[in-house]
Structure 1
Amino acid sequence: MKLSTPRWWYRRDGAPSPVTRALLTPLSWIWAAQTAKRIARTQPRGADCAVICVGNFTVGGVGKTPVVRELLLNLTQRGRRAHGLARGYGGKLKGPLRVDPARHSARDVGDEPLMLAQDFPMWVSADRVAGARKAAANGAEVVVMDDGHQNPDLRKTLSLVVVDGETREDEWPFGDGKVFPAGPMREPLKVSLARTDAVVVLLPDDLPAADPELLALFGDTPVLIARLEPAAPPPKGRQVGFAGIGKPWKVERALKAAGCQLVDFAPYPDHGSYDETTLKFLWDRAQSYSAGLVTTEKDWVRLPQAWRDKVTPWPVRARFEDEGELGRLLADAGL
């Protein structure tokens, strides 16, 4: 059974209970030590292509996949043969294999690779090195890897880390800085930042600017600002929304900010599957409000085929505020 992301991870005041965090802290020390040991002891191996890693500092969703999509689009428009690579979390096939949307389902290859494969050559491989090499053997000049900042196996040409830039009084992207399971961090920020070439701060479309306090945490590491904006308007009329991503509450906020007439919203665990009972519940809920059903593209590809016509996917994209700055970063890396 998949568990939802604990929202209290992102509080800086010790809520819901300092005791809970204190009890989990020794486990976080073990987690951080194991991560550090694995990275220190692994000799990275290369592929016959450049590798851009799009990772994160935290457990849970920060918007990596829209950034991966935007990088693939940018590189393709500049004439580079760019392929995507992912572990295929949630899928049963270990790869390396190229995702075929006509043949594969989210249960086969995972939701994010299936979504990206609608537009770009996309590979899944539990062994990242084997996946990158397979992509290179099939013509890739550049591989954009979704996740993997803490995976030391594959040598990276450029390491980008995406940060959720939405800050609120009761919600902070890194919580109080504790490592999993006491907090959302995969490893201490300073340790992770040392392997980072640039940070991508992803802001919701309606937030004027990034929080200076957040930006100060990254020191001399270059920071690129990107906006998560709707790629299409939300559906018209009353809607019941649902999402199974790292931070489903952000989808609810974004739909409302985009003008969606949201009458109810149901959060689910990240990458979780939707069974017939769950979907029937959502359908009955929507019918009780005389409303439609709306969800993210990532959730939509996990729906059984019979349900896809009953649910509207709402696409979003990551848009870099300074395309020139992104171009210079890629050029400096030989890309």
Structure 2
Amino acid sequence: MREPAFWYRPRSLESYALWPLGALYGAIAERRMLREGVDAGIPVICVGNYHVGGAGKTPTVLALTRLLRELGETPVVISRGYGGSLKGPVMVDRMRHTASDVGDEPLMMARDVPVSVARDRLDGAVLAKSQGATVILMDDGFQNPRLLKDASLIVIDSERGLGNGKMFPAGPLRAPLQAQLARTDALVLIGGGHAADDVAAELAGRDTPVLRARLKPDAASVAQLLGKRVFAFAGIGDPERFFRSLRACGIEIARTRPFADHHMFSDDEIAALAAEAQREQLTLVTTEKDLARLRGREGVPGGIVPFAVQLEFDDPAALRQLISDQLYKARERRFSTR
């Protein structure tokens, strides 16, 4: 879906008109979050956000994958496979599946880590354990009570924050903020903005760790685009953030085309993008997540450059200590209840 512009305005008639619906939605969501989840039997680390839309969960999951492997763990990601048709449980196979089968994010992540897709997260966890997982990384699902979470890391884009702070559909929040803060084990602020400083300060006041991180562009991607005029398109939560990242690297953007998050490109749209780029002698560039949705499609022009990024934490030692402590506590809890 494309986010309504009024979600990121401080005051609007639309948000006030939708406030009663938001209050009802929030009350239901808060009550649902109180349910007790099923214990998967191994540590479960959830990477989520407070609001609808993208914030950087996928790069965070991949960063945690690298860290967990350094710690000697075998992580497996579980996902509901948003945008895919398969209900699962199924392990993502990049040679066999497309984004229309399992969703764009699982298909992209499966290049680096095993991914279990299932509509029911408990089924996904059972399959992950059968693959030898010692730790489950839950991609999204912070508000979903189905599976017991040992630690929840919340990701916020520091440039956008939480918008107007109202509940869906009056705003982007998935549940009342205080109820979500109470269940947060760590906050990850991505970027150098200040839109979420108030949330960070409140969590810090509760002795909840606040970690800062930045998306670092892949040097090879940048080198491939420098000196060229590009046509950038993206169907992610915040396409403008992608366009800003390109400009910050000194890449000349001649045209941009934003699409809704998880947008499934039609053949006509692909053809139109290619024709416009060819007519103006531009290089097509998009995100890795968007390119995942184009994989295996007939008629997709060659030469579309994926702009790869990697999440880097300002204090990697603090992240390492946080994850090590959470794993220890998770295993200690299970051992003490035997």
The amino acid across from 1:222 in the alignment is P
Point out where structure 1 has 5 or more consecutive residues left out of the alignment: 167-171
Alpha carbons of structure 1 residues 19 and 154: separation in structure 2 relative to 1, 3 Å: same
Alpha carbons of structure 1 residues 257 and 8: separation in structure 2 relative to 1, 3 Å: farther
Alpha carbons of structure 1 residues 89 and 211: separation in structure 2 relative to 1, 3 Å: closer
**Aligned residue number for residue 175 of structure 1:** 163
Point out where structure 2 has 5 or more consecutive residues left out of the alignment: 329-338
SS of structure 2 residue aligned to 1:334: helix
**Aligned residue number for residue 190 of structure 2:** 202
Shift of 1:122: 1.0
Shift of 1:309: 2.3
Between 149-158 and 325-334, the greater mean CA deviation after superposition: 325-334
Alpha carbons of structure 1 residues 211 and 6: separation in structure 2 relative to 1, 3 Å: closer
Q: Does 1:140 align with 2:128?
A: no
The amino acid across from 2:274 in the alignment is W
Alignment of 1:215-230 (within 5 A): 215-218=200-203, 219-220=205-206, 221-230=208-217
Question: Which structure features the higher share of helix residues?
Answer: 2
1:122-143 CA-to-partner distances (Å, cap 9, x unmatched) read 1111111111121112200001
1:22-74 CA-to-partner distances (Å, cap 9, x unmatched) read 1111110111011122222x320011321100000110000000000110111
Say if 1:263 and 1:289, in contact at 8 Å, map to a contact too.
no
2:46 aligned to which of 49, 53, 71: 53
**Aligned residue number for residue 191 of structure 1:** 179
Say if 1:300 and 1:308, in contact at 8 Å, map to a contact too.
no
Q: Partners in 1 of 2:175 and 2:114 — Cα distance?
A: 31
Identity of aligned residues (%): 43
Q: Does 1:163 align with 2:156?
A: yes
Q: TM-score, normalised by structure 1?
A: 0.91
Alpha carbons of structure 1 residues 8 and 253: separation in structure 2 relative to 1, 3 Å: farther
Q: Does 1:10 align with 2:1?
A: no
Q: Partners in 1 of 2:43 and 2:198 — Cα distance?
A: 34
**Aligned residue number for residue 265 of structure 1:** 256
SS of structure 2 residue aligned to 1:91: coil
Say if 1:10 and 1:175, in contact at 8 Å, map to a contact too.
yes
Alpha carbons of structure 1 residues 208 and 181: separation in structure 2 relative to 1, 3 Å: closer
Q: Partners in 2 of 1:70 and 1:228 — Cα distance?
A: 11
Say if 2:161 and 2:196, in contact at 8 Å, map to a contact too.
no
SS of structure 2 residue aligned to 1:161: strand
Say if 2:162 and 2:196, in contact at 8 Å, map to a contact too.
no
**Aligned residue number for residue 319 of structure 2:** 326
Alignment of 1:289-304 (within 5 A): 289-303=280-294, 304=297
Q: Partners in 1 of 2:214 and 2:71 — Cα distance?
A: 21
Q: Partners in 1 of 2:317 and 2:241 — Cα distance?
A: 29
Q: Partners in 2 of 1:217 and 1:10 — Cα distance?
A: 21
**Aligned residue number for residue 332 of structure 2:** none
Q: Partners in 2 of 1:161 and 1:7 — Cα distance?
A: 23
Q: Does 1:26 align with 2:20?
A: yes
SS of structure 1 residue aligned to 2:105: helix
The amino acid across from 1:32 in the alignment is G
**Aligned residue number for residue 121 of structure 2:** 128
Q: TM-score, normalised by structure 2?
A: 0.90
Alpha carbons of structure 1 residues 294 and 280: separation in structure 2 relative to 1, 3 Å: same
SS of structure 2 residue aligned to 1:262: strand
**Aligned residue number for residue 276 of structure 2:** 285
The amino acid across from 2:209 in the alignment is P
